[in-house]
């Protein structure tokens, strides 16, 4: 089986390096609140299945290879286990959609290198790194300028997972592929740490 580290690392290293300045500018640029960004969409009245379909369509339009059953997988991933009271409602899906506010300005070449779940966590990370109450999670000019594009993308995916983890308790299930994706992102950001395992 292919090493998940090499797979994500190789894909992210295919992103053109000249995109870095534009990416950093986008991540630090003006931020519009999702309520204003989607004000004509009646977004907050939509059901989970419609939201899941629209998110999947968005990813597909950005060049992410998601497969035809991804909308259903997305819907089921954020639905509480049978017999459990669902406290999650549509909140996780809204966090994904909120990330589109910034995601719309991110180059397609970045999305093209991500699989469906990596792209989901990337979108949530974009949102979280701009709005987190914890300053340590936010993008800073110093941090972004010091990192390569693969490191920025991996960090953003990690932060997206961190943001969505709070829903695991209500869903009574883990986020899809969370452990493998986190491990792959950590390798992208700190490949030398693999030597100590």
One pLDDT digit (tens) per residue for the chain, 197 residues = 355 656 999 999 999 999 999 999 999 998 888 878 887 777 777 888 899 999 999 999 999 999 999 999 999 998 876 655 554 468 899 999 999 999 999 999 999 999 999 999 999 999 999 999 899 999 999 999 999 999 999 999 999 999 999 888 878 889 999 999 999 999 999 877 654 44
141-144-146 Cα angle (round to 5):
105
What's the pLDDT at 85? 54
Burial of 124 from C-beta contacts in 10 A (0-12 / 13-18 / 19+): buried
Q: What is the DSSP string of 86-108?
A: ---TTHHHHHHHHHHHHHTTS-H
Q: State which residues form the domain around 155.
A: 4-196
The reported pLDDT for the residue numbered 83 is: 55
pLDDT at 196: 44
- Which pTM was predicted? 0.91
Q: Are 119 and 111 in contact (CB under 8 A)?
A: yes
H-assigned helices in 47-148: 48-61, 70-77, 91-103, 108-112, 116-131, 141-146
**What domain count does the chain have?**
1
């Amino acid at each position: 089986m292919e090493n998940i580290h090499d797979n994500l690392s190789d894909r992210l290293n295919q992103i053109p390096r000249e995109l870095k300045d534009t990416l950093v500018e986008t991540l630090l640029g003006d931020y519009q609140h999702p309520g204003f960004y989607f004000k004509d969409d009646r977004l907050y009245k939509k059901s989970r299945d419609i939201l899941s379909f629209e998110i999947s369509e968005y990813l597909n339009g950005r060049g992410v290879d998601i497969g035809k059953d991804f909308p259903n997988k997305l819907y089921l991933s954020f639905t509480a286990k049978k017999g459990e009271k669902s406290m999650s409602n549509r909140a996780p899906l809204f966090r994904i959609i909120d990330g589109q506010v910034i995601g719309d300005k991110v180059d397609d070449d970045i999305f093209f290198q991500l699989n469906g779940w990596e792209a989901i966590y990337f979108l949530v990370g974009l949102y979280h790194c701009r709005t987190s109450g914890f300053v340590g999670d936010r993008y800073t000019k110093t941090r972004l300028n010091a990192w390569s594009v693969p490191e920025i993308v991996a960090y953003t995916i990690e932060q997206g997972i961190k943001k969505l983890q709070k829903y695991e308790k209500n869903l009574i299930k883990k986020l899809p592929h969370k452990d493998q994706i986190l491990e792959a992102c950590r390798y992208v950001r700190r490949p030398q740490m693999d030597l100590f395992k």
